[in-house]
């Protein structure tokens, strides 16, 4: 089989499977295994002295082991086109989260429309880190928009970007990096030292994908204001990456995102992204969801074309 087909077929197959099924909750999932591995290191090493060093070594070991395991599995399977295609397609499917991201965002919106703010707050708490108990309708929808924008980069564009660069080994390495950050990359007392290296590594891995995501979003929406907001507000976010797709979405929708929120009981001051402090509507959530799908499809299509051209 042609080299480009061995790359493209699993990519498209995995993307279609994610679009149809989302995260397979009833099937074994590598991210759950990653979580157990991280928890083991956290439980045994995140105590006593030298936590920053122990956290860095833990992250390096987990990242290296992830890459090497998938690299050697891939080498073994290359002797069989069928086995390689099945394996690669399955892990592209596991590596993407666009369907689940949009589905979870729309669940919050449906709760808000049908049942009111309290059920919507509880639904929102399943997908965001901030405290949701006292959020207003506007704040709930703002959180949904921010989640859609940030996780479009983390959960879709970045995994695809690393698949294009290094296949499943690099894609799964990115997923380990991202899982490390989501579990240990906090600035609280427990993780500020142990999770320091993990957080910085995630920042590095997401640097290019976050900016690609933001630019694709404004290109798809043909939004000059969105492009202006990327340069005006993207760098003001406390995260070196999350602010770019969030600023792009704020510009596209002509709304204001960001601002202070309570995380784990503590007030975290974040800058506002945008100026128009208007109400966020149901249509805004739908438009953001469409932008997510289109951004993913355009990036996928562009990548497929580049792979075909480069491997000719």
DSSP H helices, 222-281, are: 224-233, 243-253
Name the band, by pLDDT with cuts 50, 70 and 90, for residue 79.
confident
Contact 252, 219 (CB under 8 A): no
The pLDDT tens digits of the residues spanning 81-122 come to 999 999 999 999 999 999 999 999 999 999 999 999 999 999
Are β-strands 261-263 and 266-268 bridged in parallel, bridged antiparallel, or unpaired? antiparallel
Q: Where are the beta strands (DSSP E) in 169-283?
A: 257-258, 261-263, 266-268, 272-273
Predicted confidence band of residue 186 (pLDDT cuts 50, 70, 90): confident
**Residue 272 confidence (pLDDT):** 95
- pLDDT-based confidence at residue 312 (cuts at 50, 70, 90): confident
* Beta partners for residue 273, in sequence order: 257
Tokens of 219: 């290109």
Closest CA to 173 of 182, 163, 183: 163
Average pLDDT in the 38-67 region?
97
Residue 49 pLDDT level (bands cut at 50, 70, 90): very high
SS (H, E, C) 128-145: CCECCCCCCHHHHHHHHH
| CA–CA distance, 198 with 210 (Å, rounded to integer) | 17
pTM of the model: 0.95
Q: What's the rounded Cα separation, in Å, for the pair 137 and 66?
A: 41
Q: What is the predicted pLDDT for the residue at 201?
A: 98
Q: Give the Cβ contact number of residue 148 at 10 Å.
A: 23
Q: Which of 234, 71, 65 is nearest to 149 (CA)?
A: 234
Rounded CA-CA distance 299/161 in Å is 9
Tokens of 229: 């907001």
Whether 184 and 42 have beta carbons less than 8 Å apart is answered as yes
- Would you list the domain boundaries of the chain? 3-310
Within 10 A of 34 (CB to CB), how many other CB atoms are there? 21
Torsion of CA 41, 46, 52, 58, to 10 degrees: 0
Structure tokens belonging to residue 69 = 């395991």
């Amino acid at each position: 089989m042609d080299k480009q087909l061995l790359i493209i077929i699993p990519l498209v197959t995995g993307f279609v499977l994610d679009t149809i099924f989302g995260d397979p909750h009833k099937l074994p999932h590598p991210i759950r295994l990653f979580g157990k591995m991280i928890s083991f290191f956290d439980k045994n090493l995140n105590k006593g002295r030298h936590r920053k060093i122990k956290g860095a070594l833990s992250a390096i070991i987990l990242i290296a082991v992830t890459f090497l395991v998938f690299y050697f599995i891939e080498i073994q399977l290359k002797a069989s086109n069928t086995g390689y295609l099945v394996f690669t397609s399955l892990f592209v499917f596991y590596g993407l989260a666009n369907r689940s991201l949009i589905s979870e965002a729309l669940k919050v919106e449906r709760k808000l429309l049908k049942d009111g703010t309290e059920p919507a707050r509880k639904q929102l708490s399943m997908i965001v880190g901030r405290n949701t108990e006292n959020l207003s309708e506007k704040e709930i929808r703002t959180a949904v928009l921010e989640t859609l924008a940030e996780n479009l980069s983390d959960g879709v564009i970045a995994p695809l970007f690393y698949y294009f660069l290094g296949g499943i080994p690099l894609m799964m390495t990115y997923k380990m990096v991202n899982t490390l950050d989501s579990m240990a990359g906090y600035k609280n007392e427990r993780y500020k030292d142990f999770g320091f290296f993990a957080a910085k590594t995630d920042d590095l891995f997401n640097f290019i994908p976050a900016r690609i995501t933001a630019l694709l979003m404004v290109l798809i929406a043909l939004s000059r204001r969105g492009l202006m907001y990327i340069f005006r507000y993207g760098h003001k976010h406390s995260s070196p990456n999350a602010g770019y797709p969030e600023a792009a979405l704020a510009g596209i929708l002509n709304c204001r995102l960001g601002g202070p929120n309570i995380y784990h009981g503590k007030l975290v001051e974040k800058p506002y992204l945008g100026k128009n402090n208007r109400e966020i509507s149901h249509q805004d959530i739908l438009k953001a969801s469409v932008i997510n799908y289109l951004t993913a499809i355009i990036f996928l299509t562009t990548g497929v074309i580049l792979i075909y051209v480069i491997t000719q």
